[in-house]
Amino acid sequence: MNAPTFTIHTEDRVARFMRIRRQTRALCAGLGPEDLLVQSMPDASPGKWHLAHTTWFFEQFVLGHDPAYQSPDPAWHYLFNSYYESVGPMHARPQRGLVSRPTLEQVRDYRSRIDEAVGELMMRGLDDGLAARIELGLQHEQQHQELLLTDLKHAFWCNPLHPVYRDASVVGGETKSLPTRFLPGREGPVDIGHHDGHGFAYDNETPRHRTWLSAHSLANRLVTNSEYLAFIREGGYREASLWLSDGWATVQREGWQRPLYWQEDLASEFTLAGMRALEPWAPVCHLSYFEADAFARWAGARLPTEAEWEDAAAHLPITGNFQESHRFHPMAASHGDGLQQMFGDVWEWTASPYVSYPGFKPLPGALGEYNGKFMNGQWVLRGGSCATPREHLRASYRNFFPPHARWQFAGIRLGQNR
């Protein structure tokens, strides 16, 4: 089968494993058990569950590979399985916030014990199969680091006190906007998808294949708060003709009038640093696909396809505002030539539905449930965000969410036909 290629990194395996695992715990520094138990909506998960589930992943798919392995507590397999039906039953996702036991300290101890066991396994030496599973587990852990931050932000926003996660998260950026320019992309046949032998990739990024790009252009930067504010003030949320049918129904049902976390005054927004004044030139974020599509139509443009985006990003350096900046909030584009903000700041909605590439084959066994079974009713986002670890990204990375989802750091880059 055409499975994704896993690269054994030159960095010592054990050191890299421990570094990524420690980072998840570091993101929880200063948070109490109450903070990490809250589940603010069915789509989000408590921080404690993220800590436990990422540990369960290594126990299930790495340590559990050995028939002689004995779990510290087999009952936890039910609690911390997410969606792997072939592994066994699982606790209902909307009820994860009800799991007060095991305690946070027990979960932390669970992490330590599994970390020690995986570290010992790596010291004894790994075959290619186990090395690939550990790498997948680390990439999975980094996905959950971002989810932990976005889920925590939603939980803190639901608290009437609007508590602060990290006081220095938001730092001022540019004081004026980079003018919008549409830069022409390539036209004709192009290859997209993961290059075999070029490091880690998820199965949904494969196989590399040829597709056709029509004449098009991409905006040099992301859409800003001030531009989206103009959309609101000109009646964007009241004009049905701008919206897809399901989007308009969602706007009416949910009463949407502005992006998630914007306040009614349209001058401030909730961030992981608490309530802050809206930065006019920073990228607008926490938008659904429906909102991104409506704005693009209002602006006389469209959303890029994922093939257009990937071809434009393929030869760009992966630089930008990532989790490592500790801002956890998008920043205004720097002034410069060429495409800006292709990586980091906000995930960029594309016009592409999340479907399989020609010739796609999922991973064998239970790990085949990781991506493939979600290729229905969702849309692709590209580029990463201010909450994504930098090393987790690549040009071929395909994120995906349902079109109504708003709690992720998702925004807009415009495209147009030429």
Could you report the per-residue pLDDT of 19-41, keeping only the tens digit for each? Answer: 999 999 999 999 999 999 999 99
Tens digit of pLDDT for each residue in 205-250? 999 999 999 999 999 999 999 999 999 999 999 999 999 999 999 9
Taking the C-alpha atoms of residue 82 and residue 94, their distance in angstroms, rounded to an integer, is 11
Q: Categorize the per-residue pLDDT at 170 as very low, low, confident or very high, splitting at 50, 70 and 90.
A: low
User: Cα(386)–Cα(321) distance, rounded to whole angstroms?
Assistant: 5
Same domain, 203 and 104: no
- How many folded domains does the chain comprise? 2
Q: Quick one: which of 269, 169, 276 has its CA closest to 229?
A: 269
Q: In terms of residue numbers, what domain contains 154?
A: 13-158
Same domain flag for 213 and 91:
no
| pLDDT exceeds 80 at position 172 | no
pLDDT band at 177 (very low <50, low <70, confident <90, very high): confident
Q: What is the rounded average pLDDT of the residues 90-113?
A: 97
Cβ–Cβ < 8 Å for 304, 213? no
Q: Please check whether residue 308 lies inside any domain of the structure.
A: yes
Q: Are residues 138 and 197 in the same domain?
A: no
Q: Does 122 score more than 80 pLDDT?
A: yes
Is residue 188 within 8 Å of 176, Cβ to Cβ? no
Name residues whose C-beta falls within 8 Å of residue 125's C-beta, 6 or more positions apart in sequence: none
- 242 and 274 part of one domain: yes
- Residue 137 pLDDT > 80: yes
Task: Provide the percentage of residues in the chain whose pLDDT is more than 70.
Answer: 95
Average pLDDT, the chain: 94
Q: How confident is the model at residue 10 (pLDDT cuts 50, 70, 90)?
A: very low
> pLDDT category, 167, cuts 50, 70, 90?
confident
Residues paired with 73 in a beta bridge:
none
Same domain, 143 and 216: no
Q: Is residue 167 part of a domain?
A: no
pTM of the model: 0.95
Tens of pLDDT, residues 254-300: 999 999 999 999 999 999 999 999 999 999 999 999 999 999 999 99
Q: What is the largest CA-CA distance in the chain?
A: 65
Q: In this structure, are 21 and 91 located in the same domain?
A: yes
**Given this model, what pLDDT does residue 272 score?**
97
For residue 176, the model assigns a pLDDT of 75
Same domain, 343 and 238: yes
pLDDT of amino acid 5: 40
pLDDT of 356 higher than 90: yes
Residue 194 sits in the same domain as residue 154 = no
On whether both 195 and 320 belong to a single domain, the answer is yes
How far apart are the C-alpha atoms of 412 and 381, rounded to whole Å? 10
Residue 194 has pLDDT above 80, yes or no: yes
Indicate whether 171 pLDDT > 80: no
Across the range 187-210, mean pLDDT stands at 95
- Domain holding 25: CATH number? 1.20.120
175: in domain = no
Write down the number of H helices and E strands in the chain. Answer: 9, 11
Q: What is the CATH number of the domain that holds 396?
A: 3.90.1580.10
Q: What is the dihedral of CA 400, 200, 83, 410, to 10 degrees?
A: -20
Q: In angstroms, how far is CA 264 from the centroid of its own chain?
A: 27
Alpha-carbon distance of 102 to 177, in angstroms, equals: 49
- Domain boundary at 158, 192, 212, which? 158
Distance CA 312, CA 315 (A): 7
Asked whether residue 188 falls in the same domain as residue 303, the answer is: yes
Bond preceding residue 207 cis, omega within 30 of 0: yes
Per-residue b/e over 129-161, b at no fewer than 16 CB within 10 Å?
A: ebbbbbbbbbbbbbbbbbbbbbbbbbbbbeeee
Do the domain assignments include residue 147?
yes
Residue 177 lies in a domain: no
Per-residue pLDDT, 175: 60
> Does residue 172 lie in a domain region?
no
- The residue-averaged pLDDT of 365-373 equals 90
Residues of the chain with pLDDT > 90, as a percent, come to 90
Please check whether residue 204 is in contact with residue 371, taking contact to mean a CB–CB distance below 8 angstroms: yes
Check the CA dihedral 317-323-325-329 and report its sign.
Answer: positive
pLDDT for 418 beyond 50: yes
Q: Is there a single domain that holds both residue 194 and residue 58?
A: no
Residue 4 lies in a domain: no
- pLDDT at residue 335 in the model: 85
Average pLDDT over residues 8-13: 61
Residue 7 has pLDDT above 80, yes or no: no
Over residues 372-389, mean pLDDT: 96
**168 domain-assigned:** no
Tell whether 366 and 266 lie within a shared domain: yes
- As a whole number of angstroms, the distance between CA 394 and CA 391 comes to 8
